[in-house]
Amino acid sequence: MMDEVERKIIRSLNQNARKSFREVAKEVGVSVTSVINRVKKFEKSGIIKGYIPVVDPQIIGLKLTAIIALRISKGNLLETQRRIAEDSRIVSVYDITGEWDSMVLGYFRDRDDLNEFIKNLLSKENIDRSVTHVVLNVVKEEKGIQI
């Protein structure tokens, strides 16, 4: 369990992971040493897995977001999901409950790029069926987990 100071440190880093430890300490109301020690603890325990830039897919030419539901043949789920995850256009692959076996989130240049991906996907062994949803508008998309 995290205490309130640790939650505040995570919230501060979620706003801007490039803040100095001094800025975080001032914002949270603790010493710089306390922030450094807690962040190191977060990194060592896997609470913080890394630091990456948040890139806007639209600006780099990935204008289409798609959510794809997949039905995958029994016994080949993880292998098939891992193969799909290797595609650089795919940002998330989820193993889910319910009517579908997997949900895939991807960013594509345009309809032709998405069409090529889907046709290629459906030609693969173990993919029984898919339903593709094109995202029209993003209402909320959090990159950091709010605690």
Q: What is the dihedral of CA 71, 96, 145, 60, to 10 degrees?
A: 0
Global pTM? Answer: 0.83
Encode pLDDT of 25-63 as tens digits: 999 999 999 999 999 999 999 999 998 888 999 999 999
pLDDT at residue 144, rounded to an integer: 77
Domain(s) of CATH 1.10.10.10: residues in the chain: 4-45
At 121 the pLDDT is 95
Question: For residue 126, what are its two tokens?
Answer: 């173990």
Evaluate whether 66 touches 58 at the Cβ level (below 8 Å): no
Q: Does domain 64-134 have CATH number 3.40.50.300?
A: no
Q: Please, are residues 99 and 136 in contact by the beta-carbon 8 Å criterion?
A: no
Q: What is the pLDDT of residue 76?
A: 85
Low-confidence ranges of the chain (pLDDT < 70): none
User: CATH assignment of 4-45?
Assistant: 1.10.10.10
Q: What are phi and psi of 132, to 5 degrees?
A: -110, 130
The rounded mean pLDDT for the chain is: 94
Which pLDDT score is estimated for 67? 98
The confidence score (pLDDT) of residue 56 equals 92
Residue 66, pLDDT score: 98
The answer to whether the beta carbons of residues 63 and 111 sit under 8 Å apart is: no
**36: burial class by Cβ within 10 Å (0-12, 13-18, 19+)?**
middle
User: Residue 51 corresponds to which tokens in the numbers above?
Assistant: 């630091």
> Where does CATH 3.30.70.920 sit in the chain?
64-134
Distances (CA, A) of 107 to 17, 19, 26, 43, 117: 24, 29, 38, 29, 11
